[in-house]
Amino acid sequence: MTDAPTIFERIIAREIPADIVFEDDRVIAFRDIAPKAPVHLLVVPKTAAYPDVASLADADPALLAHVVAVAKQLAGEHADGDYRLVFNSGVGAGQTVFHVHAHVLGGGLTEGSLG
């Protein structure tokens, strides 16, 4: 295992550019570079302490609630309030960055799409 910073830590540190749509002292949100829906945003806690949503929920439920609240706010601003909120947990579920993050997907999705 490496202690190298994740891509999200590098975006937070402004070492890698991103199309940032929201930021406060706890989270940052930006457009996914390989969108899977017309609206595809990532909401990322600024701490790298939690690799997945379960560890975040166990250790800091208030931060998880903030991630969800920001996702809802962004869906209202970018996707008419309708959205899917996805957390991938583990390689087998498609997680590639082990720094917890929420995918906010919207923009005319239908049941069974993206599935």
CATH code, domain carrying 19: 3.30.428.10
> Residue 63 domain-assigned?
yes
Tell whether the model's pLDDT for residue 74 goes beyond 70: yes
Mean pLDDT (whole number) for 24-35: 97
Is the pLDDT at 22 greater than 50, yes or no? yes
User: What's the whole-number average pLDDT of the chain?
Assistant: 94
Residues spanned by the domain of 17: 7-106
Closest to 24 (Cα-Cα) out of 16, 12, 15, 32: 12
The answer to whether residue 25 sits within a structural domain is yes
Q: Look at the chain and report how many structural domains it folds into.
A: 1
On whether residue 112 sits in a domain, the answer given is: no
Residue 5 burial (10 A CB sphere; 0-12, 13-18, 19+): middle
* 3 and 45 Cβ atoms separated by less than 8 Å: no
pLDDT at 28 exceeding the cut of 70: yes
User: What is the chain's Cα-based Rg?
Assistant: 14
Q: Quick one: pLDDT band at residue 1, thresholds 50, 70, 90?
A: very low
Query: Would you say residue 37 lies in a domain?
Result: yes
Domain assignment present for 2 = no
Specify whether 101 is catalytic.
yes
Of the candidates 40, 99, 101, 103, the residue annotated as catalytic is: 101
What's the chain's length in residues?
115
Asked whether the predicted pLDDT for residue 7 surpasses 50, the reply is yes
Would you give the end-to-end CA distance of the chain in angstroms? 31
pLDDT bin (cut points 50, 70, 90) of residue 108 is confident
Q: How far apart are CA 9 and CA 68, in angstroms?
A: 20
Lowest mean pLDDT among 2-6, 22-26, 85-89: 2-6
Tell me the residue ranges of DSSP E strands in 32-71: 39-45
Average pLDDT over residues 62-88: 97
For 34: left if phi > 0, alpha if psi spans -120 to 50, otherwise beta; the answer is beta
